[in-house]
Amino acid sequence: MTDDFEAQVGELRARRKKHLAMGGVDKIAKQHERGKQTVRERIDLLFDPGTFVELGLLAKDREGSDNAPADGVVTGHGEVDGRQVWVIAYDFTVMAGSMGAVGEQFKTARVRELALRYRKPIVWLLDSAGARIQEAAGSTFAGTGWLFADQVVMSGVIPQVAAMLGPCAAGTAYIPGLADFVPMVKGTSSMALGGARLVKAATGEDVTDHEMGGSQVHCYESGVGDNEVENDEDCIATVRRFLSYLPSSNTETPPHVDTGDPVDRAVEGLDKIVPVNPRAAYDVRKVIKAVFDSGSWFEVKPTWAKNIVIGLARAGGHSVGVVANQPMQKGGVLDSDAADKAARFIRMCDAFNVPLVYLMDVPGFMVGSQVEKEGIIRHGAKMLYATSEATVPKVTVIMRKAYGAGYYVMCGKGYQPDAIVAWPFAEISVMGPEGAVNIIFNKQVEASDNPEATRAQLVETIRAQITPYLAAGWAMIDDVIDPAETRRVIVKAIEQARDKKIDRPWRKHGNIPV
């Protein structure tokens, strides 16, 4: 009987070995030639060493053939910085990572079920030709698609990351479409609702998958991708970094990390970064790096809608979401894309208990016929909605300009910040002094013997009224601070609001403008 026992275990070992070998030596060589890592190399990078537990290694395709080890998708869980994370990783060396019936109905569904049951994040490593057409072409298509419904149920409950490491064609592009964070590898990754061949058949357009849906499209033009990265290693390091700022689920708070940067540190050098002249541009990212914990700044969507800067950072070790106007791009004016970018980020932070810090220097929303055609009112309303809806601790620092509805969406007083402070040269007003003079005193200026001198004098009169001291005198803002105190004020405000509890009227859900 000993022989039988060993033979049986031996067969198991052989089966495992075959499936661990993925699509075989040639396919793996081809994967490497394309500059891509294999699914198992990627999983080794994603998880802390020795922590990966695989489920469904022995799966085959629905025919039970020998051609589809693991049915082309590796699933399981492991640890990222000691915390459990689940993974769905498509294997391009097996039938081009196409999504088969076994993989979809049993393997990936199992991961979604268990990750949600345990309230742990899911990371997709996407490198897939899309649905396996030979299995899906038929009206049994009627039984597919619930992966997206699952994703929607999980939205705001567990963090979802879609790492783009190869193609992600057709309907599966909705995986990143619904995810919280979407890094894209430059050159090799792409996503599109219809792949190149389908597009050619459907419309006649001749375009490659890369031209249509590479990172140069999605991280720069469409805003579907978040961060463009150089290669697979960078991509997975970026995923680990992103997760480090978030809790495992919405029932927890983000991990506190002692960064060693003193809470009381005076912020040096702001006088050299921020011009007092409200018209002059500067790079707000320099302010962010100076204020928050050293080395903690992780910018999200850095190459799209650059007139607003968003990202994760730490303040006294607390994870925070930063929303900052960027005067260096379009003068920091808010437009449709900027409002969309900020709104989605604010809602993610709010869902996962990450406090929000608004660094305000905004000349307002863009005006004119072009932006009205884009529907800037409905886009701007998303940011209003998100900021208003957020119940995490909110801190507002008015650095310079706080004009019009820009002041509202950047968490002005009406949006219940836990602290709202201004720097001494802040300007808070429904509009800039020049615009105000044109509207309020137009007749007076026209009637003047010296219209330009009158206009300049009126501008100065109004400018004197929009300093922060009038608002501080009314206690509409909590304080006017020395910019060097900004860091301490932010940390103290977050800690002050630690036990924040806000009760709102019951509703099924609000109706956010989309």
Partner 1 sequence: MTEVKAELVGNVWKVKTQAGAQVAEEDELLILESMKMEIPVTAPRAGTVKEVRVKEGEVVKEGQVLVVLE
**Which of 152, 276, 280, 512 touches partner 1 by CB under 8 A?**
280
380 binds partner 1 (CB under 8 A): no
Instruction: Compute the distance between CA of residue 311 and CA of residue 348 in angstroms, rounded to an integer.
Output: 11
- For partner 1, which is the closer residue by CB, 72 or 278? 278
The residue count for binding partner 1 (CB under 8 A) is: 21
The 223-262 site mask, x for binding partner 1 (CB under 8 A), equals ----------------------------------------
- For partner 1, which is the closer residue by CB, 126 or 305? 305
- For partner 1, which is the closer residue by CB, 364 or 412? 364
**Which of 159, 195, 225, 332 touches partner 1 by CB under 8 A?**
332
**Which of 34, 200, 256, 279 touches partner 1 by CB under 8 A?**
279
- For partner 1, which is the closer residue by CB, 436 or 489? 436
**Which of 19, 77, 132, 330 touches partner 1 by CB under 8 A?**
330
Minimum CB separation from partner 1 for residue 467, in Å? Answer: 17
Look up tokens 């070995």; give the residue.
17
Minimum CB separation from partner 1 for residue 361, in Å? Answer: 10
Contact 510, 428 (CB under 8 A): no
Contact 147, 109 (CB under 8 A): yes
- Reported as half-sphere exposure (CB side, CA atoms, 13 A), residue 194 has a value of 12
Minimum CB separation from partner 1 for residue 363, in Å? Answer: 4
Minimum CB separation from partner 1 for residue 403, in Å? Answer: 9
- For partner 1, which is the closer residue by CB, 313 or 371? 371
Minimum CB separation from partner 1 for residue 221, in Å? Answer: 13
281 binds partner 1 (CB under 8 A): yes
Which residues, including other chains, have CB under 8 Å from residue 217's CB and lie 6 or more apart? 211
- The number of angstroms, rounded, from the C-alpha of 282 to the middle of its chain's C-alpha atoms is 24
Minimum CB separation from partner 1 for residue 151, in Å? Answer: 34
Contact 395, 419 (CB under 8 A): yes
Which residues, including other chains, have CB under 8 Å from residue 242's CB and lie 6 or more apart? 161, 181, 183, 298, 300, 312
**Which of 329, 391, 416, 448 touches partner 1 by CB under 8 A?**
329
**Which of 154, 175, 333, 466 touches partner 1 by CB under 8 A?**
333
Which listed range, 172-180, 198-206, 275-283, 503-511, lies at the site for partner 1 (CB under 8 A)?
275-283
**Which of 57, 114, 178, 328 touches partner 1 by CB under 8 A?**
328
Contact 417, 395 (CB under 8 A): yes
Phi, psi at 275, each rounded to 5°:
-70, 140
103 binds partner 1 (CB under 8 A): no
Instruction: Compute the distance between CA of residue 275 and CA of residue 398 in angstroms, rounded to an integer.
Output: 14
Which residues, including other chains, have CB under 8 Å from residue 333's CB and lie 6 or more apart? 307, 362, 363, 364, 365, 366, 406
Instruction: Compute the distance between CA of residue 212 and CA of residue 210 in angstroms, rounded to an integer.
Output: 5
**Which of 78, 97, 327, 355 touches partner 1 by CB under 8 A?**
327
- For partner 1, which is the closer residue by CB, 278 or 316? 278
Minimum CB separation from partner 1 for residue 333, in Å? Answer: 5
Minimum CB separation from partner 1 for residue 331, in Å? Answer: 3
Minimum CB separation from partner 1 for residue 323, in Å? Answer: 19
Which listed range, 50-58, 328-336, 351-359, 468-476, lies at the site for partner 1 (CB under 8 A)?
328-336
Minimum CB separation from partner 1 for residue 432, in Å? Answer: 4
Q: Measure Cα distances from 192 to 168, 239, 305 in Å.
A: 7, 22, 21
Residue 23's nearest CA partner among 83, 122, 98, 116 is 98
- In order, the DSSP letters of 75-93 are EEEEEETTEEEEEEEE-TT
- For partner 1, which is the closer residue by CB, 278 or 321? 278
Contact 181, 162 (CB under 8 A): yes
- For partner 1, which is the closer residue by CB, 21 or 281? 281
**Which of 78, 166, 435, 483 touches partner 1 by CB under 8 A?**
435
Q: State the first-to-last Cα distance of the chain, in angstroms, to the nearest integer.
A: 68
Contact 186, 228 (CB under 8 A): yes
- For partner 1, which is the closer residue by CB, 209 or 361? 361
Minimum CB separation from partner 1 for residue 226, in Å? Answer: 21
The 335-374 site mask, x for binding partner 1 (CB under 8 A), equals x---------------------------xx-xxx-x----
**Which of 214, 331, 468, 483 touches partner 1 by CB under 8 A?**
331
Which residues, including other chains, have CB under 8 Å from residue 301's CB and lie 6 or more apart? 219, 223, 226, 227, 310, 341, 345
Instruction: Compute the distance between CA of residue 16 and CA of residue 231 in angstroms, rounded to an integer.
Output: 29
Mode of pairing for the β-strands spanning 356-362 and 479-480: unpaired
Helix (H, G, I), strand (E, B) or coil at 203: helix
Residue 154's nearest CA partner among 106, 114, 103 is 114
Minimum CB separation from partner 1 for residue 367, in Å? Answer: 8
**Binding-site ranges for partner 1 (CB under 8 A):** 278-281, 327-333, 335, 363-364, 366-368, 370, 432, 434-435
